[in-house]
Amino acid sequence: MKKIINGKSYNTDTAEIIASFENGLGSRDFRNYSEELYKTKKGNYFLAGEGGAMTKYSRPVGNMTDGGSDIFVLSKTEAIEWLERHGETEALEKYFADDIEEG
């Protein structure tokens, strides 16, 4: 998947995948979605995902909605929050070690 946002190219084929998440709902469930967090060669973060008609990936089709896919740019803070939310401790330690403090 590839998308240009604000003059910058975000491409899943050339970026490094950091972590992925699937919500575990069946493919026929309108709430089903999966996402992958990526880091570009220039150090920018983005989410690439796909999901059903009741997710942020939905697309209008006539007067209804259908599933779709998209790319969303994330700040470093948003990338860290996404990893924390999905319990990706290894990825946090690998990619954001300097941003983690001992509690």
pLDDT tens digits along 17-47: 999 999 999 988 999 999 999 999 999 999 9
Does the reported pTM lie above 0.75? yes
Segment 47-54 long-range contacts (CB within 8 Å, at least 24 positions apart): 47/71, 47/72, 47/74, 47/82, 48/1, 48/10, 48/12, 52/25, 54/30
- For residue 90, is pLDDT > 90? yes
User: Mind giving me the DSSP string for 15-31?
Assistant: SEEEEEEE----TTSTT
The residue-averaged pLDDT of 80-103 equals 95
> What pLDDT is recorded for position 33?
96
